[in-house]
Amino acid sequence: MISMKPGHLQESVISVLRTKSPMSVREILAFVNKQTKNQYAYSTIATTLSRLEKKRFVLSYSEEIHGRSMKLFELQPDAPNVEVNNILQNLISKFGLVGVKHLGQVFKENISKEEIEEIKQKFEIKDK
């Protein structure tokens, strides 16, 4: 299973994309290497961006710049919501609705039947 929480390098890439967007892999590489004082390889940053795209934290698209097609990356506008949704889906897949109810108890909130139905629809959960 793919971990939904960004790792250290992924967090650095996200941080760079928050400051300037869109950016190419080479631009992100330069910023990350300067920010972290490491010397990551181009392929490492490209792989990290690919993983962030699979997790729906970043978007990529091609654009023609100076007669060359360049792949650019930018932060997904709703990246924080994506992270919360991923965490909730992970919780539900591991613990089912019991996990959701427990989460409500942790925050001292009762989750109504209507809210549970809404959660089930949102995350396409079938009753067992």
pLDDT tens, 92-124? 788 877 877 777 777 667 777 787 777 777 776
Task: Please report which confidence band the pLDDT of residue 126 belongs to, taking 50, 70 and 90 as the band edges.
Answer: low
Same domain, 70 and 21: yes
Query: Are 59 and 97 contained in the same domain?
Result: no
pLDDT at residue 60, rounded to an integer = 96
Two structure tokens written together for 36: 């972290």
Q: What is the C-alpha separation between 72 and 26, in angstroms, rounded?
A: 10
45 has a pLDDT exceeding 90: yes
Would the pTM count as exceeding 0.85? no
Same domain, 13 and 42: yes
Residue 3 has pLDDT above 50, yes or no: no
Q: Does residue 41 lie in a domain region? A: yes
Question: What total number of domains does the chain contain?
Answer: 2
